[in-house]
A and B are shown apart, each in its own frame.
Chain A
Amino acid sequence: MSVQLAASFNHADRLVDAVEALQARGHKCVDAYTPYPDERLSEALACRTGRIAWTAGIATIVGSLIMVAALYYTAQVAYPLDLGGRPSFSLAGAASSTIIVAILWGCVGALAGFLWFAKLPRLHHPIFDVDGFERLSDDRFFLVVETPGADAAETAANELRELGADTVQQVPA
């Protein structure tokens, strides 16, 4: 049964160094928790974010297609108006509302992609039960390491302390 250990650090650089050292020794760093975004850390943990851009891009295209289809349907099929012989539907006339709605879909797509891939909202999570986790928003950085069993957890905990962790504890299941 795998055991997750949460180690707290008092400096971001120490945390990043620990991640690199542990990964080199073959440990599995699951996640880290920081009070502000840190590019080095997200690179070390190989965080993928391109999916959000795809979500937003596809949402933009889908949104504009739906809008053009809706405009075509209302102007050409459902309620055509003959205004001095002009065509009922024209792309130029549809452009301004379509562009605006496409942008709206892109923005909402970015938000939806963020929430979906981050699996939020999730109001509770085991990490909140770790002692002292509330200091995350103050001056602490946390690293979560997954180990295959109790013995491996013991060695990993010792290694974490060597690497400068202030506290090491098990994440409650």
Chain B
Amino acid sequence: MATADFSHPEEAPVEPVLSGPLARRYGRRWRIAMAAALLGLLLFAAGLLVPLVFGIGTWGTDIPHVWGFGIANYAWWIGIANGASLFAALLVLRRHNLRTATNRFAEAIAVSAVFAAALYPVIHLGRPLSAYWMFPYPATTGLWPQFLSPLTWDFWAIISHVIVTTTFWYVGLIPDLAILRDRAEERWKQRFYGLLALGWRGSVRHWALHQRAHRLTALTVIPMLFVMQSAVAFMFASTLVPDWHSTRQPLSLTVSAFESGLAAILLMAHLLRRGLRLEKHIDRVDIDLLGRLLAANALIAGYLLLASTYLGILDDPQPREALMARMTGDYAWLFWTSAALTVLAPLPLLWSRVRRGFLLPVLIACAALLGTWFERLTLVVGGVPSSRIGLLRASYWPTWAEWLLFLGSAGLLAALLLGFARLLPAVSLYETRRDEAQWRKRTA
């Protein structure tokens, strides 16, 4: 295995990681950030209430653009969640050293992003209060859900995704919760962590079972993500829009999901390093690897973009026209912005001097996130060719209600992440401890 090459150069004690969750106060910056995130959460409540009270007529979606911001943002959040959990699951299965530093918060990003995405399909129903009709229960009306409808796939996909991502994250957390239980001084914290730790006592038999269970949950995460991204592509394909029928769609969606996940992890790694002073835990080897991965992903995204454009030009007239509409039509700027941001922007990370910096990688990660967001938008909005619109003009533009919901879901994500950073260790404690023991053994 190649893991030996990426061993950590410095000893990283667990105390700085522990001090966060156990501290009585967490500093002014955290409180200000949390206040802003809670404000965002209020926006989310408002964004949910507007379509609930006034209906989705408040959104800009209309014929010919029946899908818009809601679907694009939903797919974007899901993409971030999938990319982050795929990354974490692969590292657990490969037992890669990088997992110590990055897995915990990568999984936290995944869990938060899934929650940010989870309410979109419900609100998009038009009649959100009847969302429970999608669950097969014996209703007095004798009606059952139609399982050939992508809407019910979405229902099962979201429920499974939330549970699988959360389980993967929680299983990895159990031993760390026990450490917090043992170290906590306040009574409520001892109870809080004690209950969550389920009475974990560090028995060797438990460890063996735990490691197996952790790898198994990681193993379920991986097909989950490919199915999720393909299911998103499948849902697009079940409509009449020719641009959405390409069999390359699942692959493009998976690659860009991975890119957005990696960008979110890189961004978070830099922020945690600075914010919580975890330079030794998320060290330069980790940062360097994350940068390399993002750059490599951008190259793959570039290859896919070229291949799908080339094959699209050779395709039947309708899909070709749709592709051309996407590249040269009213929404062409979305396409070209996304291409530039997802393919070109991360390329400077190929140079190690760029990877080692702070500002440039942060900006690049933001650019990649924005690029994948534009990619979802161009996919949802940009592929309707003018010949299919007829006399109508391409006219989609998100309304304030859609922006409200989007900003609100970002607020929800930020509030969850800040809450995790406050209550839970940002880096896996027991993996850190194991690395520490191995480091001592190596240097002794």
Contacts and interface: CB of A to CB of B under 8 A. Distances in A.
A57 to B, nearest CB: 9
B159 A47 contact: no
Contact of B213 (A38, A114, A121): A114
Given A37-B208, A49-B208, A125-B201, A100 B224 contact: yes
Majority-rule SS of A interface residues:
helix
A45 B204 contact: yes
Nearest to B179: A137
Contact of A96 (B153, B178, B194, B441): B153
A33 B203 contact: yes
Given A33-B202, A103-B160, A123-B199, A52 B207 contact: no
A118 B206 contact: yes
A42 B208 contact: yes
Contacts of B223: 99, 103
Given A36-B434, A100-B153, A104-B159, A118 B205 contact: yes
B205 A113 contact: no
Contacts of B212: 49, 52-53, 114
Contact of B203 (A12, A31, A107): A31
A25 B194 CA distance: 38
A104 B144 contact: no
Nearest to B205: A47
A70 interface: yes
B344 interface: no
Contacts of A36: 175, 207, 430-431, 433-434, 437
Interface string B21-50: 000000000000000000000000000000
Contacts of A124: 199
A107 B208 contact: no
Contacts of B152: 97
Interface in A130-171: 134, 136-137
B431 A47 contact: no
Q: Which of A34, A94, A100, A121: most chain B Cβ within 10 A?
A: A100
A99 B163 contact: no
A140 to B, nearest CB: 10
A13 B213 CA distance: 25
B84 to A, nearest CB: 17
A120 B351 CA distance: 49
Contact of A120 (B136, B144, B199): B199
Given A38-B204, A53-B212, A110 B217 contact: yes
A114 B205 CA distance: 11
B143 interface: yes
B147 A121 contact: no
A99 B227 contact: yes
B216 A53 contact: yes
Contacts of B205: 31, 42, 45, 47, 118
Interface in B102-145: 136, 142-145
Contacts of B332: none
A22 interface: no
Given A118-B209, A136-B202, A100 B157 contact: yes
Contacts of B195: 123
Contacts of A3: none
Nearest to A136: B202
B202 A79 contact: no
Given A31-B204, A49-B212, A75-B147, A107 B433 contact: no
Give the contact-size bracket for chain B.
35 or more
A110 B220 contact: yes
Nearest to B149: A93
Given A36-B433, A107-B220, A100 B227 contact: yes
Q: Which of B160, B161, B210, B223: most chain A Cβ within 10 A?
A: B160
Interface in A16-35: 31-35
A82 to B, nearest CB: 12
Interface string B354-372: 0000000000000000000
Contacts of B144: 74-75, 78-79
A32 B206 CA distance: 10
B182 A134 contact: yes
Contact of B160 (A13, A47, A101, A114): A101
A78 B203 CA distance: 50
B434 A49 contact: no
A5 interface: no
A93 B183 CA distance: 52
B146 A49 contact: no
B303 interface: no
B153 to A, nearest CB: 5
A16 to B, nearest CB: 10
A117 B175 CA distance: 16
B204 A111 contact: no
B198 interface: yes
A162 B45 CA distance: 65
Contacts of A49: 208-209, 211-212
9 contacts: A32-B204, A34-B202, A35-B202, A47-B204, A47-B205, A97-B153, A101-B156, A111-B217, A123-B195
Interface of A: 12-13, 31-38, 41-42, 45, 47-49, 52-53, 56, 70-71, 74-75, 78-79, 81, 83, 90, 93-94, 96-97, 99-101, 103-104, 106-108, 110-111, 113-115, 117-118, 120-125, 127-128, 134, 136-137
Given A47-B208, A100-B228, 17 more contacts: A37-B430, A38-B207, A42-B204, A52-B212, A56-B216, A96-B153, A96-B234, A101-B160, A103-B164, A103-B224, A106-B216, A107-B163, A107-B168, A111-B171, A122-B198, A125-B201, A137-B182
